[in-house]
């Protein structure tokens, strides 16, 4: 089984409110249909979630009643995005089933308190493709907070021990510097946990234009510790995504899982 | 607290694929905002669910892989309807949060096996209004089946013991005969469990044009046994709905809960 994260910046225009990149998503769906593997899909909320979540300051928890309305509005927008993702997958005959984090998990001060992971298992057993996403959720300490797609990836990786985790991101992979501002930036083709430890200290390192780089590195480290390989690949390039999912060589970054010997 | 069931035939045109009655729903949202009570809302799937569920024969369980795609398509359509309900409620500043049955409950041969009811409680405590709906769900014996809004009402009533259960339906209430074909049909203004026992044997009795009458009577009986009053009121008449929710006299049918003395 493969856990695939589709970055919010791949399928939405992150700087523009609620702009779904239909063509990009349709290409990804086509790749998945062609790949014929067992998948769990996690997608980011992109501009459907982040803008409202920021406006209502939802990630720092409950402060006023207005945020309750903000939470409601945000989860509805993210559900809208999820519906578009589902429809795109269905067009390619992928039997996608949506699992909403706000209904099945609770955090405690941003960390997982409890989650019904079994429901993913039940759908997979029946040949469905579970689709989950970054969402607003209840938080025991804070009232509510945000459960990012990256946190979901970590929880699901721990439980399902997938063959690999693939991040379809908005760039070619992990670079030695920010490729958008530094022409000398080089794509890191292969790395591992040990090397990542040094990498993460560099401030200008860049993997995703809008997502927190440090957060992504931490996610990858946690996956790597489970002995699972992570691949960062450009989600806008269907041929590369197909190869990354199929285990063929392509332009991307592979972070090898730690071998426990 | 009040549990409100909004009939699928009230907010969709049941005979026409995916036709949402926006104006009717907006009027209901306005009534709820004015009522200022604690609510759980359950809505039917109407033409967003029933047509596909029937085409793929989803309620009788797994027979072939095609149904897996049918399940996926159906839950996505119902999610679309749910998004429209949420948006209508939000326009009236109601902080609605969607809880999808297919993520939080499992049936066993059409009967409840397990359900995360606590999640409703957690949202209510934080002043949200949980919104759930008739949905396709996993079924231990059958693979999958359908969880109707009426079944949800029974489960939630048992757990939350609401002050009353209100069904917003597509007619004025419960009649002595089918009012659409029998001019002598009279609205039953008040009744109770004992009288319902006789009523349910009449075949031409009519409460909902498309929903199963026997099923609805059984639901009401089960609520009544919990000692809770049920009100059937026309969901197309905002003034009646408002009065029914507020405890004022109006045209409707009241089924009194059984007193346990």
Cα of B243 to nearest chain A Cα, Å: 26
Q: Which of B232, B238, B226 is nearest to B252 (CA)?
A: B232
pLDDT interval class at B202 (50, 70, 90) = low
What are the backbone angles phi and psi of residue A192, rounded to the nearest 5°?
-145, 180
Using a CB-CB cut-off of 8 Å, the residues of chain B touching A73 are 90
Cβ-nearest to A83 among B68, B76, B119: B76
Cα of A124 to nearest chain B Cα, Å: 11
Which tokens belong to A105? 């998990």
pLDDT of residue B118: 96
Using a CB-CB cut-off of 8 Å, the residues of chain B touching A86 are 72, 76, 79
Paired with A41 in beta bridges are: A4, A131
pLDDT of residue B15: 77
What are the backbone angles phi and psi of residue B110, rounded to the nearest 5°?
75, -5
A37 touching chain B per CB within 8 A:
no
pLDDT of residue B261: 54
Cβ–Cβ gap A76/B62 under 8 Å: no
**Position B23 pLDDT exceeds 60:** yes
B64 touching chain A per CB within 8 A:
no
Cα of B113 to nearest chain A Cα, Å: 14
pLDDT of residue B195: 86
**Position B206 pLDDT exceeds 90:** no
Cβ–Cβ gap A95/B72 under 8 Å: yes
Minimum CA–CA partner of B139 in chain A: A122
pLDDT of residue A17: 81
Size of interface A-B (CB pairs under 8 A): 107
Cβ–Cβ gap B79/A86 under 8 Å: yes
**Position B204 pLDDT exceeds 60:** no
Q: How many CA atoms lie within 13 A of B180 on its CB side?
A: 10
Cβ-nearest to B99 among A65, A103, A126: A103
Q: Give the residue from B76, B92, B101, B117 with the most A CB atoms within 10 Å of its CB, the best one to mutate.
A: B76
B104 touching chain A per CB within 8 A:
yes
In tens, the pLDDT along B77-111 reads 999 999 999 999 999 999 999 999 999 999 999 99
Q: Split chain A (261 residues) into runs of 10 and give each run's mean pLDDT.
A: 96 87 98 96 94 92 96 97 98 98 97 96 97 97 96 97 96 84 88 79 45 76 96 98 98 91 55
Question: How confident is the prediction for chain B on average, in pLDDT?
Answer: 92
pLDDT of residue A204: 46
Of A84-93, B188-197, B200-209, B213-222, give the range with the top mean pLDDT: A84-93
In tens, the pLDDT along B150-185 reads 999 999 999 999 999 999 999 999 988 777 788 888
This prediction has a pTM of 0.94
A116 touching chain B per CB within 8 A:
yes
Q: Which helix (H) or strand (E) holds A79?
A: helix A66-91
pLDDT of residue B217: 86
Burial of A64 (0-12, 13-18, 19+ CB in 10 A): exposed
pLDDT of residue A195: 86
B120 touching chain A per CB within 8 A:
no
With contact defined as beta carbons under 8 Å apart, do B166 and B173 qualify? no
Cα of A220 to nearest chain B Cα, Å: 27
Cα separation, B188 vs B199, in Å, equals: 10
Find the range with the poorest average confidence among B65-74, B230-239, B252-261.
B252-261
Cβ-nearest to A103 among B68, B104, B127: B104
In tens, the pLDDT along A201-250 reads 454 444 443 345 667 888 999 999 999 999 999 999 999 999 999 999 99
ipTM of the complex: 0.93
Using a CB-CB cut-off of 8 Å, the residues of chain A touching B122 are 106, 138
pLDDT interval class at B198 (50, 70, 90) = confident
Which tokens belong to B114? 């397990």
């Amino acid at each position: 089984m493969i856990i695939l994260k589709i970055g919010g910046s791949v399928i939405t225009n992150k700087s523009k409110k609620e702009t779904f990149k239909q063509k990009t998503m349709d290409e990804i769906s086509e790749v998945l249909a062609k790949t014929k593997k067992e998948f769990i899909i996690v997608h980011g909320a992109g501009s459907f979630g982040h803008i409202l979540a920021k406006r209502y300051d939802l990630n720092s928890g409950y402060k006023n009643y207005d945020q309750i309305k903000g939470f409601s509005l945000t989860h509805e927008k993210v559900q809208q995005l999820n519906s578009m993702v589902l429809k795109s997958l269905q067009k390619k005959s992928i039997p996608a089933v949506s699992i909403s984090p706000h209904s099945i998990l609770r955090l405690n001060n941003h960390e997982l308190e409890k989650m019904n992971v079994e429901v993913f298992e039940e759908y997979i057993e029946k040949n469905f493709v579970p689709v989950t996403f970054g969402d607003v959720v209840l938080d025991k300490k804070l009232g509510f907070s945000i459960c990012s797609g990256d946190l979901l990836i970590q929880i699901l990786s721990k439980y399902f021990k997938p063959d690999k985790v693939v991040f379809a991101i908005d760039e070619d992979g992990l670079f030695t510097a920010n490729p958008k501002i530094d022409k000398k930036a080089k794509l890191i083709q292969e790395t591992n946990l040990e090397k990542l430890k040094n990498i993460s200290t560099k401030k200008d390192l860049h993997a995703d234009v809008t997502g927190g780089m440090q957060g992504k590195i931490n996610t990858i480290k946690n996956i790597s510790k489970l002995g699972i390989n992570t691949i960062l690949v450009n989600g806008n390039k269907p041929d590369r995504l197909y190869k990354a999912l199929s285990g063929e060589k392509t332009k991307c970054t592979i972070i090898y899982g730690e071998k426990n010997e």
